[in-house]
């Protein structure tokens, strides 16, 4: 048996390696996705005052600080026992949606479009955003503009693009001004046009990725996400939990997402710092489920904005009601991008958004709180316990990327089995193994609560465990 | 009865009362000396060493806030040596405790941070000590975070001299020194604290803050201290 190690995995957020085991007959027998970093935020937070948590937890990540900010603030709301004023909740929603827009844009255009536009077998030296800009400048410009759209909304609201301190326990620290609202609203039509154009480009080229779509983590699993329980619309900030199987049967529906431990277990594997959550009722590892764009579009009935719902209808028409291929995360992500842009416009045009009552104050009224929201990559849980003075005693974070861990492992195996034969590893095969992980847009910095970028080594071990071949790639690519 | 003394500060001839400090004389003549533990209205203790100056005839650096003027004194407030010394003093304040500006309530409203910025302190040459320090959140309204305390003792002095409760004091020595309430009791169980909040108002960093205040949230700074001191003096 031989083993192929891909380390580091590139163009994802964080550090990881992939180990592929090859049998004597040259067939892939096993593949593992290992996250090789740990950060320990759950421990560092112990002993700190509750009110520091949102800004402190935002430091878990530079890509999606806002997601942590929101989930953390919601957990704090519960510890305080307050419900933030409506305007504050709406403003938090806008910031969450802006966060999803910028993160989805970053992922699709900067990290994944090089594979999609230039090809999985193209020269790795040019397979990056600069290569995209050279080949399709319009696409690259749309990517940069959409990310800017999201980031600038975050800055307008929070005063800062990364790690804004504006979301606080009990609400937000400052109301929205008319001028801020109008400036943001003025940018919505342009962002909408760019997202719609990208969707058209993606749909036009979908057929050319048929082989990848068929083998990139294409298997039945459960799907989980937040749903607005009256309308069945997508809910990113406040919603009830729904889990469906590959046929759409609802295993969980209209469930309070906060007592997550009742239905989610967290397994730990010795080869990875990333925990492997699973659906408890089905056990480990049978309770494999996915979260994020693909899963969200599977669990919801509708998105709740007309243009995106039309796109969703087409998506379901072409792929089926419950698509199970992880390659379709890309398409799902683009539809969400459009939905989030339009929803930002709708919320900001709504009444009461300029209300000055945006913060509820209270002392510690509960010793425990769970905050749940949809981050770009999936459902995010922050769970805190505090003492009577509000000093944090215990923290558990269940991060979006973690939910997908089992699915990522299975996807890596599927891709490896399809593209790798024996120890003769082509660079394109290596890239596809990485690309399937990339489709999930994992944020390992968040999920192991770590710092860094991704460098990659692929080792091929012989039947006796001897190293046959090493393919390595530096972090710059 | 104080008399008039004449001296030179940075080459400028100045006159001051014999009971005035170098800092006081400098300020009256619009010569700026950086300070941190000094606060108008409170007594001076020379704890932070930022106001050190050179006095001709002595190799020792003198704290301007606690050194009284003398006839014919020649004082230098800015020199390469002084700048390096002040920079190192600020660095020592940072490395001695756990100052994480990014997640501090006082971020952008902190005197220590402002001094660090002024001297261009963007990295530490000294190793960080990383002491394990507690946060006392037992008080109903306020929190004491020892991680951010620089032992300037403004809280101790304002509590003793203005509020006259003397809830705060310093226990221990050197790097083991800590601000304590009463005799080391949790602040919330202090029988002397009047919950007036003056200590929170005068704290130059984020060590003392209002409960519920979030990161980088400015505190309402009320310039009440000189008024209180004047009222107190009038009562005497």
Distance CA(B108)–CA(B97), nearest Å, equals 19
| ipTM score of complex | 0.87
Task: pLDDT band for B231, please (50, 70, 90 cuts).
Answer: confident
Q: How far is CA A454 from the centre of its chain?
A: 17
For chain B, how many structural domains are there in total?
Answer: 2
* Between residues A343 and B2, the one the model is more confident about: A343
Task: pLDDT band for B24, please (50, 70, 90 cuts).
Answer: very high
Q: Clarify whether residues B109 and B189 are in a common domain.
A: yes
Q: Collect all residues with Cβ–Cβ distance below 8 Å to A345 and sequence separation of at least 6.
A: A185, A188, A192
Closest chain B CA to residue A171: B214
User: What are the CA-CA distances from residue A414 to residues A36, A212, A326, B100 (Å)?
Assistant: 22, 11, 11, 45
Q: Which pLDDT score is estimated for A459?
A: 60
Q: Which pLDDT score is estimated for A146?
A: 97
- Which of A47, A55, A390 is closest, CB to CB, to B215? A55
Q: What is the percent of chain B with per-residue pLDDT over 70, rounded to a whole number? A: 97
A380: tokens are 């995010």
Closest chain B CA to residue A73: B214
Closest chain B CA to residue A391: B137
| Domain interval for residue B159 | 100-235
Q: Which pLDDT score is estimated for A449?
A: 40
Task: Give the sign of the dihedral formed by CA B109, CA B112, CA B118, CA B122.
Answer: negative
A350: tokens are 């709504």
Please write the tens of the pLDDT for every residue from A66-106. Answer: 999 999 999 999 999 999 999 999 999 999 999 999 999 99
Q: Cβ contact (<8 Å) for B211 and A390?
A: yes
Distance CA(A142)–CA(A152), nearest Å, equals 15
Q: Clarify whether residues B67 and B125 are in a common domain.
A: no
Q: Cβ contact (<8 Å) for B102 and A169?
A: no
Provide the shortest C-alpha distance from residue A268 to chain B (in Å).
30
Q: Which pLDDT score is estimated for B159?
A: 95
Domain assignment present for residue B229? The answer is yes
Q: Clarify whether residues B180 and B224 are in a common domain.
A: yes
- Cis peptide bond prior to A202, omega within 30° of 0: no
Domain assignment present for residue B65? The answer is yes
Q: Collect all residues with Cβ–Cβ distance below 8 Å to A238 and sequence separation of at least 6.
A: A89, A93, A226, A373
Distance CA(B28)–CA(B10), nearest Å, equals 14
Q: Cβ contact (<8 Å) for B214 and A51?
A: yes
Domain assignment present for residue B46? The answer is yes
Q: Residue A442 is inside which H or E element, if any?
A: none
Residue B67's CATH number = 3.10.20.740
Q: Clarify whether residues B107 and B51 are in a common domain.
A: no
A with B: how many residue pairs have Cβ under 8 Å apart?
52
Q: Clarify whether residues B60 and B145 are in a common domain.
A: no
* Between residues B1 and A367, the one the model is more confident about: A367
In angstroms, how far is the first alpha carbon of chain B from the final one? 18
Q: Collect the ranges in chain A with pLDDT lower than 70.
A: 1, 10-14, 36-37, 423-424, 444-477
A26: tokens are 């040259």
Are the C-beta atoms of residues A381 and A119 closer than 8 Å to each other?
A: no
A78: tokens are 């519960």
Q: Which pLDDT score is estimated for B216?
A: 77
Provide the shortest C-alpha distance from residue A384 to chain B (in Å).
16
Domain assignment present for residue B187? The answer is yes
Whole-prediction pTM value?
Answer: 0.88
Q: Clarify whether residues B31 and B118 are in a common domain.
A: no
Q: Which pLDDT score is estimated for A130?
A: 87
Look at residues B28, B43, B78 and tell me which one is the last residue of a structural domain. B78
Q: Cβ contact (<8 Å) for B102 and A163?
A: yes
Q: Cβ contact (<8 Å) for B216 and A165?
A: yes
Q: Which pLDDT score is estimated for A453?
A: 35
Closest chain A CA to residue B106: A52
Q: Tell me the average pLDDT across B133-140.
A: 95
Q: Clarify whether residues B181 and B136 are in a common domain.
A: yes
* Between residues A48 and B219, the one the model is more confident about: A48
Q: Cβ contact (<8 Å) for B137 and A389?
A: yes
* Number of Cβ within a 10 Å radius of residue A477: 14
The residues of B whose Cβ lies within 8 A of any Cβ of A are 102-103, 105, 107, 134-135, 137-138, 140, 143, 145, 188, 211-217
Q: Clarify whether residues B104 and B61 are in a common domain.
A: no
Q: Clarify whether residues B104 and B169 are in a common domain.
A: yes
Q: Clarify whether residues B225 and B117 are in a common domain.
A: yes
Q: Clarify whether residues B12 and B109 are in a common domain.
A: no
Residue B156's CATH number = 3.30.70.20
Q: Which pLDDT score is estimated for A477?
A: 31
- CA-wise closest residue to A89 among A171, A210, A189: A171
Distance CA(B36)–CA(B48), nearest Å, equals 6
Domain assignment present for residue B91? The answer is no
Q: What are phi and psi of A324, to 5 degrees?
A: -115, 10
Q: Which pLDDT score is estimated for A74?
A: 97
């Amino acid at each position: 048996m031989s083993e192929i190690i891909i380390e580091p995995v590139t163009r994802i957020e964080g550090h990881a390696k992939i180990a592929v085991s090859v049998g004597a007959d040259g067939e892939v027998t096993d593949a593992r996705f290992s996250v090789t970093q740990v950060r320990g935020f759950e421990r560092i937070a112990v002993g700190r005052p509750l009110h520091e948590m949102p800004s402190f937890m935002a430091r878990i990540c530079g890509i999606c600080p806002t997601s942590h900010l929101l989930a953390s603030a919601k957990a704090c709301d519960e510890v305080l026992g307050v419900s933030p004023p409506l305007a504050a909740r709406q403003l938090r929603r806008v910031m969450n949606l802006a966060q999803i827009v910028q993160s989805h844009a970053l992922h699709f255009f900067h990290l994944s479009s090089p594979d999609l536009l230039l090809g999985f077998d193209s020269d790795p030296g040019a397979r990056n955003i600069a290569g995209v800009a050279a080949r399709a400048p319009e696409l690259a410009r749309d990517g940069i503009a959409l990310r800017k759209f999201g980031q600038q909304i975050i800055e307008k609201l929070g005063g800062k693009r990364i790690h804004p301190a504006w979301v606080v326990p009990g609400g937000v620290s400052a109301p929205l001004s008319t001028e801020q609202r109008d400036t943001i609203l003025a940018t919505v039509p342009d962002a909408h046009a760019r997202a719609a154009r990208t969707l058209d480009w993606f749909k036009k080229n979908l057929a050319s990725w048929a082989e990848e779509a068929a083998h990139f983590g294409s298997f039945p699993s459960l799907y989980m996400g937040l749903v607005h329980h009256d309308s069945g619309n997508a809910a990113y900030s406040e919603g009830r939990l729904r889990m469906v199987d590959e046929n759409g049967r609802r295993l969980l529906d209209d469930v309070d997402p906060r007592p997550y431990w009742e239905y989610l277990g967290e397994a730990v594997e010795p080869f990875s710092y990333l925990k492997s959550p699973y659906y408890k009722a089905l056990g480990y590892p049978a309770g494999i489920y996915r979260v994020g764009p693909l899963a969200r579009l599977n669990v919801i009935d509708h998105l709740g904005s007309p243009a995106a719902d039309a796109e969703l209808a087409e998506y379901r028409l072409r792929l089926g009601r419950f698509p199970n291929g992880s390659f379709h995360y890309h398409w799902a992500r683009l539809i969400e991008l459009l939905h989030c842009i339009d929803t930002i416009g709708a919320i900001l045009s709504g009444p009461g958004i300029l209300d000055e009552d945006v913060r509820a104050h209270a002392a510690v009224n509960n010793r425990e709180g769970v905050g749940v929201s949809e981050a770009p990559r999936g459902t995010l849980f922050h769970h805190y316990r505090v003492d009577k003075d509000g000093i944090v005693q215990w923290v558990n974070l269940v991060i979006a990327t973690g939910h997908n861990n089992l699915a990522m492992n299975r996807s890596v195996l599927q891709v490896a089995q399809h593209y790798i034969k024996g120890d003769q590893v082509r660079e394109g095969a290596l890239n596809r193994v990485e690309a399937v992980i990339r489709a999930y847009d994992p944020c390992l910095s968040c999920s192991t609560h770590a710092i860094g970028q991704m460098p990659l080594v692929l080792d091929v071990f012989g039947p006796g465990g001897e190293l046959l071949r090493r393919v390595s790639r530096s972090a710059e690519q | 009865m104080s008399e008039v003394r004449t001296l030179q500060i940075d080459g400028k001839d100045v006159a001051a009362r014999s009971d005035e400090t170098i800092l006081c004389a400098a300020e009256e003549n619009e010569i700026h000396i950086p300070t941190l533990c000094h606060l108008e209205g409170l007594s001076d203790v020379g704890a932070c060493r930022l106001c050190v100056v050179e006095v001709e005839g002595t190799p020792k650096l003198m704290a301007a806030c606690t050194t009284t003027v003398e006839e014919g004194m020649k004082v230098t407030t800015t020199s390469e040596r002084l700048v390096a010394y002040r920079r190192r003093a600020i660095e020592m304040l940072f490395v001695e405790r756990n100052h994480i500006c990014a997640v501090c309530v006082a971020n952008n409203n902190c005197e220590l941070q402002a001094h660090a910025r002024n001297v261009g302190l963007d990295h530490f040459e000294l190793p960080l000590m990383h002491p394990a320090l507690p946060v006392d959140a037992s008080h109903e309204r306020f929190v004491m975070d020892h991680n951010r305390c620089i032992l300037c003792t403004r809280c101790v002095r304002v509590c003793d001299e203005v509020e006259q409760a003397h809830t705060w004091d310093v226990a221990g020595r050197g790097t083991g020194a800590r601000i304590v309430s009463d005799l080391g009791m949790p602040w919330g169980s202090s029988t002397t604290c009047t919950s007036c909040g003056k200590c929170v108002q005068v704290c130059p960093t984020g060590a003392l803050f209002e409960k519920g205040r979030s990161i980088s949230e400015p505190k309402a700074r009320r310039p009440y201290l000189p008024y209180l001191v004047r009222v107190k003096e009038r009562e005497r």
